[in-house]
Structure 1
């Protein structure tokens, strides 16, 4: 495994200098000559040898109710961050819902292990600092494929730093922040296992992931109701794959 990892890293550095074929140029993706090798490294090494086996083992040994409680717990931990971002975006209604969800699930839901709030009509609010920057008029910037983390953009990478390492520190210690991040990563990868055929059957998996990522960002930015013109231009994908990418 170590030998393959070193070979892959060497190939990554060499291919980063290669030119992208003209027919595959994408104005959203000026760093494609670096992003594609990073995608291959993520899938052929990190996912194949680490993340997917961990996710498969997690699904096999963890009962569904326990998985659901873990997902509820990590969502609840993120609720204050959702509320802050909703407030920064001027969404008073979603700010109130996020705060109410946190209070209900933390108390009645036993620390967030049970999602009582949804049964009361308080649906999950998902707001991040990348969306906040988008609402403030800041563009996506270059598309990025991050080692071990997957697709992002310059704007969303900035947002992820704020959401995952700045705002959580208000309430969580560094080890707790890392634990929540790992739990989310494993659960997200486990949720994608049933959707792997969509990726495997695509003609160009790299482009497929990129297009799905941009469609997801579009829907999140507009809270599921993008402008009709942009919505018409977006390609249809499996909802589960879109939600969990």
Structure 2
């Protein structure tokens, strides 16, 4: 793989909590980053400005992750600005919560469109365009194992993400490209806190031996490991959840 300061990463969903932390962490290692956003252009531009003001390299690119032409343009932007792509970190996703019995099909279809089709589109382009020796990192969730009520549609979509990840790792045999998924536990992002009482947040936080929520920075450290020195980890789902069962 190229020296770390020569690497180029696309981070999808970079205007969100985990995505933004990933951008900051990768640029600390000297990686040039394409800050992708789906809806919040202002936040993405502010993050890119933060990186460049600190001496890093970053550009902004907007796209619907489920639209192949729009996402192809993101990869084109990376190639034009930085010469190619070595790392793709796919954090973009949505998480509407409700019991299966109360989840309308429109919501279910929207989750599958963004989380499953969006991952397939992004991974398909990554498989075609990431340079040999690179890394593809998807975001799953520990809820696929924790079976928390209310997460049926979301967990189902992330189960599909895990399946695609593990198969793609085997399909890229011979190119020295690692493909892994990170499955965070409950993480202190604005999306996580939506609709939760302080009591519920505390209950969830106490559900692992560390007795706290994860932070976006916790997940970003795991990403940086897989994007950098973790070259012997491939075709795996890493549970970054503080030891939750």
TM-score class, shorter: under 0.3
TM-score of the superposed pair, with normalisation by structure 1: 0.26
